[in-house]
Amino acid sequence: MRRCGATIGWVGVLSALMLLSTAGAQTLSNRTIELVRRNCETTIGRQEVTLFANGTLRIRQRANAKEQFKLAELNPEELEAFVNRLSVEDLSEVPRGRPEVQGDFIERCELHLELADQAPREFHFGRFDSLPLALSRLNRIVDDMALLADSRSPVMGLPRDYVPRAGDVLERADGMLFEVVGYTSDKRGVELTGVNEPLTIFIATEALHDNFVSVIAPHRWP
């Protein structure tokens, strides 16, 4: 009987671990699934607006060779409202468009939409083109997202004088957290390891500010 009880106990533990693993995987998936992403760019700049399945809104902007990020978090009601607005548009007759860029200052956009129970869609258009009504409304919804993210989030980025130290926890533009391990042997790069994932990355020292948006926690050691 004791042996049977131990077996049942292990089954319970394994079941709990599997549930935790599944929940963790789902959370991670929601942080990386893009419900809608619009990227508009010319040869001199760009703006990318992304809504993730966990409710994170991200704006990525580049101008004058400098990149900036803004992040905002939607509550469940706001996320549902945006998803409902995106879902009701009938895009079945909207042409996909062509992705070519026409001139240095002609802004071209690509819009990716991937909602649950709907086939992924992709559209290409000029920022000031005369668009089909459904695509125009879809574009306006993304504009509303950009305005909301812009109003809630200041421009993010690492401090100009930031120097990485072992133990610093940095937030990447996609929301993932990494801890600084230290400099590479040649001092030209920085090694970082994922806080929530077993992932190690190496970033050139001068590119650190372009890949990470904020310092979440300072180093823990002198």
Distance of CA 18 to the CA centre of its chain: 27
Range scoring the smallest mean pLDDT among 17-31, 48-62, 82-96, 136-150: 17-31
Across 108-132, b (16+ Cβ under 10 Å) vs e yields: bbbbebeeeeeeebebebeeeeebb
**What's the chain's average pLDDT?**
80
Q: Measure the CA–CA gap between 12 and 10, rounded to whole angstroms.
A: 5
Q: What is the CATH number of the domain that holds 56?
A: 3.30.1560.10
pLDDT digits over 20-73, tens only? Answer: 444 444 444 667 789 999 999 887 788 999 999 999 898 888 776 667 778 888
Confirm whether 132 is domain-assigned: yes
Q: Does residue 104 share a domain with residue 1?
A: no
How many domains does one find in the chain?
Answer: 3
Contact 191, 182 (CB under 8 A): yes
Q: What is the structure's pLDDT at 17?
A: 43
pLDDT digits over 171-200, tens only? Answer: 887 778 999 999 999 888 999 999 988 889
Q: Is the pLDDT of residue 125 over 80?
A: yes
How much is the pTM? 0.61
pLDDT digits over 2-34, tens only? Answer: 444 444 444 444 444 444 444 444 444 667 789
Q: Measure the CA–CA gap between 26 and 143, rounded to whole angstroms.
A: 28
Backbone angles phi, psi at 149, to 5 degrees: -60, -40
Percent of the chain with pLDDT over 70: 77
Angle at 202 between CA 200 and CA 204, to 5 degrees: 165
End-to-end CA distance of the chain: 54
Region class of 187: left (phi > 0), else alpha (psi between -120 and 50), else beta: left
Q: Does residue 144 share a domain with residue 58?
A: yes
Q: Which structural domain range is residue 69 located in? A: 33-152
Confirm whether 222 is domain-assigned: no
